[in-house]
Structures are given as C-alpha cells and as structure tokens.
Structure 1
Amino acid sequence: MADTMQFDLVSPERRLASGEVKSVQIPGMDGDMTAMPDHAPTITTLRPGLLTVEGTDGTSQYVVTGGFAEITAKSISILAERAHAREDMTQEKMDEIMEEAQHTYKKVKEAYQNEPGPVDDAAKLLSDMVAMGEEIGLSAKQPNL
C-alpha cells in the first residue's frame, strides 16, 4: 500500500491545491467520508462544508460550497463549485456565499411552488451553508425559510 496519493483541488477560478497527501476528509452529499491511498474508485457530490487535507507537510482546510470528488486508488480530484482556503474566509465572503444560496432558494421556491423535492433540496443547501458558517466561526445570518 502506498503512503500517499495525488490530490488536486480546482474551482472555476483557479487551482487551489495540488500535491501528495495522506488523506482527505470530504463533506459528501450522502455523508462525510475520508479518502486514503488504495481507496475504491468513487465519484461523489459535495455539500457545503470543510474539506480537510492531511498532507506530507501538515494539515490544511478548505471551504467548499459544492461540486464533485473523483477518487481512485492513487488520486483524488475535487472539482468545487466554489472553494477558499479556510484561513482566507472572511465575513464578507461568507455573506456573499449566503446571499447567493438565499437567492437560489427563492428562485427555486418560486419556480416549483407545488413540488417539494427541489424546494427541499434548496432549503437543505441553505441550511448546510449556515452549518458551515457556524463550523468555521463566521455568522451565516440565519435565513427565514
């Protein structure tokens, strides 16, 4: 078994991280998971949360708002909708993320008035954003659903 695997974190704006890692804790839509070398091939969607990377030179964290993770035995690629290094998160960025999530929820609620599935999914996304904000110590300005 290899001790490390290749890790890449990419958002639409830029590549945030790339290198050899020991493990990656992923906020998956169906639950949190940890990917390590020799992991079974997996593709999963991400929910808003903290991505924790244990590298050969220490641990780092990234705030992600969604996207996909592709895991193989030798690599993990995260394609994030939006991602920031945890230490770079500010209240201003958190407010922007929450405003975007609230706007999406309102649009979905208007478009699917009698269809609870999409509205419930948008409400869950919004509540995940609030939980993520609390986890990193930033105010998420609780929305009225």
Structure 2
Amino acid sequence: MATFELELVSPEKLLLSRPVEMVIIPAAEGDMGVLPGHVPMIVTLRGGVISVRENGQETERMFVRGGFAEVGPTRVTVLADTAVPVANLSRAEAERLIETAERDYQAAAANDTPEKREAAMNHLLAMRAMKDAAQAA
C-alpha cells in the first residue's frame, strides 16, 4: 500500500517520524483523514486525537491540545501545542484541568475581549476532548 511521511512535533521533541498509510487529524473544521496524494493545505488543529494507520490497522493514538498541520501529497507535518499518547492520559487529571478551564472561561467571559474568550473556550473544549480520549483508552 502507498505511504507518506508523517512527522508529529511538539515543543519538547519530535514524537513521530515515519512512513504511514493514513492519518486522521482533529482539524478545527472536523476530523480529517489524510491519504497519500492529498491536496496541499495548512489546517488549524483543535483538541483531539490523532490516529495513525499502518498495515491496515491503527498503530498510534496521540492526544493533541491544538496546533497546526501542513498536509501535502507526500508528507504531513503536525506541529502540536501539546501531544501525549492516549494510553498515558489520566481521566482524573483531565477532570481537574476541565474545572480550571471552566473557571478561566467564566472569568474571560465576564471581563475579557472576544479573542480571549474564544481562546478560553477552545482550551475548555480541548480539555473535554482529553477527558473523552482518556475514557476511551
């Protein structure tokens, strides 16, 4: 089967760099499947799970809090704000982060600019996606 090069990078390190058959990324507009030969584009990521497929099966699941992906016909580069293997997520930690994010959003909704409110809401949604991913692991 045809492959393309996938690189997943977080601020701390290069997490993944190898040929894969398919990747599903949590684009801001919705989950996006990428196969070899995909049209070039740059997309914003929302909090969610990146799913990697090799040899006809899912081989990796990584939670990302957000970031960007550059998609091309032979390469996909994901620049993630934060990336954690789904198996390493903690539901209890995600619930704690949701509580903090909810407080931050309430404070932003009362006092801040629309941009800061949107950023606070995006963070809250990402933490909820983290909890969902932790439950599914």
Answer whether TM exceeds 0.5 for this pair: yes
Structure 2 residue 113 is matched with structure 1 residue 74: no
The Cα offsets for residues 30-73 of structure 1, whole Å up to 9 and x where unpaired, read as 11111110000010000001110112485210000000000010
Aligned counterpart, 1:22? 21
Q: Separation in 1 of the partners of 2:11 and 2:100?
A: 16
Q: Using structure 1 for the length normalisation, give the TM-score.
A: 0.77
Paired position in structure 2 for 1:89: 89
Which whole-Å CA distance do the structure 2 matches of 1:99 and 1:12 have between them? 25
Q: Which residue of 2 aligns with 1:32?
A: 31
Aligned partners of 1:74, 1:110: CA distance in 2, in Å?
A: 46
SS in structure 2 of the partner of residue 33 of structure 1? strand
Which residue does the alignment assign to 1:136? 134
**Partner AA of 1:65 in structure 2:** R
Q: How far 1:103 moved relative to its partner?
A: 6.2
Q: Is the 8 A contact 2:47 2:125 kept in 1?
A: no
Seen in structure 2, the aligned counterparts of structure 1 residues 107 and 20 have a Cα distance that, compared at 3 Å, is farther
**1:143 alignment partner in structure 2:** none
Q: Mark the runs of 5 or more structure 1 residues left unpaired by the alignment.
A: 139-145
Q: What displacement does 1:136 show? A: 3.1
Match of 1:62 in 2: 62
- Mapping of 1:103-142 within 5 angstroms? 104-106=104-106, 108-112=108-112, 115-116=113-114, 118-120=116-118, 122-137=120-135
Structure 2 distance, partners of 1:88, 1:108, is 30
CA–CA separation in structure 2 for the residues paired with 1:79 and 1:26: 12
1:45 match: 44
Distance 2:134 2:90 in 1: 10
Secondary structure of 1:136's counterpart equals: helix
Which amino acid in the other structure matches residue 63 of structure 1?
A: F
| Cα distance change of structure 1 residues 39 and 97 upon mapping to structure 2, 3 Å threshold | farther
Aligned to 1:142: none
* Partner residue in 2 for 1:141: none
- How many residues are matched? 135
Identity of aligned residues (%): 31
